[in-house]
Amino acid sequence: MKPRGRPKKYRFVYQDPEIRQFSPRGKPGRPDETDLGVDELEALRLADSRGLAQKEAAKLMKISQQTFSRILRKARKKAADSLSQGRLIRIKGGQYVVSPRHNPTQPVNKPL
């Protein structure tokens, strides 16, 4: 059976994450898990860590501002739920391409 709907565009990220999971301490037993996509992690990094506006961050990821906003909202919800409930966060998957030209130290308004 063919997938339905429009295919997702690839999101451009600077590099694959070096750390692939975060685990809570002090919770006995095996904690529940939450999967955070690589594209969601990149959206969090650009918006919250670097402090870029959504429009600028969306340009770097080569997606629309609305798509970036949706990815960011989903990533923030997953992170907040996981932190507040003591869940393990696994970073994996997502529609992304690693782009070495997307350098986080370059100013955003210069052409790449």
**Domains in the chain, start-ordered, CATH in brackets?**
31-98 (1.10.10)
Q: Model pTM?
A: 0.78
DSSP code of residue 25? S
Q: Which of 98, 112, 108, 102 shows the shortest CA–CA distance to 38?
A: 98
CA distance 35 to 13: 18
Q: Three-state SS for 33?
A: strand
**pLDDT per residue over 4-36, tens digit each?**
887 777 888 888 788 888 888 766 667 788 999
**pLDDT per residue over 87-109, tens digit each?**
999 998 877 888 866 555 444 43
CA distance 6 to 27: 41
CA distance 60 to 14: 9
CA distance 105 to 112: 12
